[in-house]
Structure 1
């Protein structure tokens, strides 16, 4: 790839930056603060792994979107059936809906800290801004905002590294894979920020909004690498190093963590951190808002652009409902970590669907061996993290909420096994693909 090609690609990037805007959000930030403040540099290797895994997940989702030129829900319904499509829609809406409320709580809290205006008023204000902006301008506005905000957030957190003392020897030790006791939830949160069902499922829709097809394969691959591997990777490492270097209380909220930096390393670090957090919350909230309308509209046979009034109404409804997040209260940090960990429960199903469809008649050619190996590795890692999270929940006692999560996780696990059985029967059972897709 020559300099001219890179320059042309850089000017045309877009869809993966919307996914990056969601990934580089306050939930990921909260988990990184918890990891760094609670365990020092020990989990640095997980932070780096998350960027690599996130780029791989988006690459697989990109392949499915480009080769089918359709949204993932429609592809699932055509090749697996309506029940599978509805299960995916419910999985996505639950994960994105809970995240929407908690992210709004974070954004309202940050806005209140910076301005002194009540968080609930900020919640209503931001909800109206979302509704007007997204329902009025649609995807184009979101993509532009995502690129600007993600770039600005990365710059803010990288700048904070220059005012925080970093221990190079301890950083080097963080590259050695270790998993201290009690880190299952945090590790799940770190990886869950990059490999998440909302990011995987939305990618086919954002590429359709740009009108990309297989002809843009090189551009789409560059887009994934620049946003998820580079920008998101730098964002994650910078926040983690700041937290691991100077913070020692993993119970801090994201806002409290920023405020704690003032007396520790100066007001510059505090304000850089707060501005970065605010930008991350705005970009994540905007990106997350479009996910439920995308999958619901696709399942109902509606358009997935603002030209369809029904889709526009869905966008406005999700935007306005997010205002309720500002009245949640409670410890934002714990809520954000839990949101990402909950996402890991639904993510293995989305990965299994993508890998399955990439090796089916849904695409004109099957995935390469390396891509399949990466997809299976993602499935195993995300599945193991989800199992660890569920085990910790059971160990703490089964409540109505955790019981519902366990029941849904069991349903998804059965569905994943069913996908493997379908593939094995089609691949090794001697049945024709046409017969298998309709069984």
Structure 2
């Protein structure tokens, strides 16, 4: 068995299809060259390994102890699989996902995908900015509102002026720093190995559905799925780069994101309680519990995660909107550059949003989970039609359907909890949005059965 098959289970799934993969072509490159060239999945990883995922992990660990550890483990594998499916579609079509959807399904489906992804990423952008500004204020003593303006301008100038490769480099550096900070914190926090082992047994306690949806939603999110074709295009990757692209996903989502999630969850489950979860109270609570080193490691990790996620999330709406209108998705096109600046500046008001940011972070991930099954269904549909030259194998489809089922169940549980808590303006919007996306997903499934299986 080749090393690349051991590195990432998704590589093995693809290899079972009999296609040319990293497992069959790994000898043409070296690990070192792959490390030098990898990048697009790290931009997705910068969003996944962000404060919203952190909020879900902290809430789950502090509220339910080690019970949801199995969800943390599953989320890393699910995230890698979803990126693998998105990668296949991007490499086989060499186009952005919105343009592919419009050609294969029509303009209405393309607009629905754009609206779904832009809504999820736009709401997240505001709360992420609040996190970045809040952490910056805590570490420097300067008002969070001032930091919101500063970070908005930095985003606008950096992304519009330097473009994608600047973002990719920043993502690699910051994500690596974040993971090192949180892994280091494990050495100053006591871990109950027995309780952690018990948490590997699947269970979903009452009231934990939002946390579970948030954890999985951090790894398997519509923004990560839709952006991947554009980041690979920015690098000029084609089907010939499938081995590098697979290694990229394995290193970023499976390994690095997995370590990030595991470290944060174990810290929270070991020493934090639900009373610690106010803004950055989790980091501050580590001081008297585990020492100042743990507190500052956590603050540094939180700051790095927030900044990297803010930058990576900013490019998602411009990618999708520009592709829908047929514009170039790089800074050489003034229209795309204007979209980048607009999204960066529109994120500034997020610094002034009141309330507990960790609760808001969990909620925005859970809301994003509602739209994720639709994105997965879109990708699976396209990968099993004449849109691509080589359709999915049975093994790959089984993995995709399992992913669709997991995200669908989590989304349904989240909606159920919202209804049980009483339908208000926000929960009413969540229920309506979830119902509309669920209906679209079912219609798409019926369309595939009618046109591809019964034709």
Q: Check whether TM > 0.5.
A: yes
- CA RMSD in angstroms, aligned pairs only: 1.1
C-alpha separation between the residues in 1 aligned to 2:284 and 2:356?
15
C-alpha separation between the residues in 2 aligned to 1:213 and 1:328?
42
Which of 57, 61, 65 is 1:36 aligned to?
61
Map of 1:241 onto structure 2: 266
Which of 154, 158, 169 is 2:183 aligned to?
158
In the alignment, structure 1 residue 293 sits paired with structure 2 residue 328: no
Deviations, residues 229-281 of structure 1 (Å, cap 9, x unaligned): 00000000000011111112266135110000001110000000000000000
What TM-score comes out, normalization by structure 2 length?
0.93
Checking the alignment, whether the CA contact within 8 Å between 1:34 and 1:251 is kept in structure 2 is: no
SS for the counterpart of 1:162 is: helix
In the alignment, structure 1 residue 305 sits paired with structure 2 residue 324: no
Map of 2:46 onto structure 1: 21
In the alignment, structure 1 residue 258 sits paired with structure 2 residue 283: yes
C-alpha separation between the residues in 2 aligned to 1:199 and 1:420?
22
Aligned-pair CA distance for 1:371: 1.0
Map of 1:353 onto structure 2: 378
Structure 2, unaligned stretches of length 5 or more? 1-25
Aligned-pair CA distance for 1:370: 1.2
Map of 1:69 onto structure 2: 94
C-alpha separation between the residues in 2 aligned to 1:175 and 1:156?
24
Aligned-pair CA distance for 1:105: 0.3
Aligned-pair CA distance for 1:406: 1.9
Structure 1, unaligned stretches of length 5 or more? 431-439
Map of 2:208 onto structure 1: 183
SS for the counterpart of 1:41 is: coil
What TM-score comes out, normalization by structure 1 length?
0.96
C-alpha separation between the residues in 1 aligned to 2:50 and 2:190?
24
Checking the alignment, whether the CA contact within 8 Å between 1:305 and 1:311 is kept in structure 2 is: yes
Map of 2:292 onto structure 1: 267
Checking the alignment, whether the CA contact within 8 Å between 1:35 and 1:250 is kept in structure 2 is: no
C-alpha separation between the residues in 1 aligned to 2:127 and 2:36?
33
Map of 1:335 onto structure 2: 360
Aligned-pair CA distance for 1:97: 0.4
Map of 2:19 onto structure 1: none
Alpha-carbon distance change, 297 to 250 in structure 1, aligned in 2, over 3 angstroms: farther
Deviations, residues 97-124 of structure 1 (Å, cap 9, x unaligned): 0000000000100000000000000000
Map of 2:247 onto structure 1: 222
Deviations, residues 210-242 of structure 1 (Å, cap 9, x unaligned): 000000000000000000000000000000011
Which of 372, 382, 388 is 2:397 aligned to?
372
C-alpha separation between the residues in 1 aligned to 2:27 and 2:191?
36
C-alpha separation between the residues in 2 aligned to 1:404 and 1:252?
26
Deviations, residues 186-220 of structure 1 (Å, cap 9, x unaligned): 00000000000000000000000000000000000
C-alpha separation between the residues in 2 aligned to 1:239 and 1:122?
25
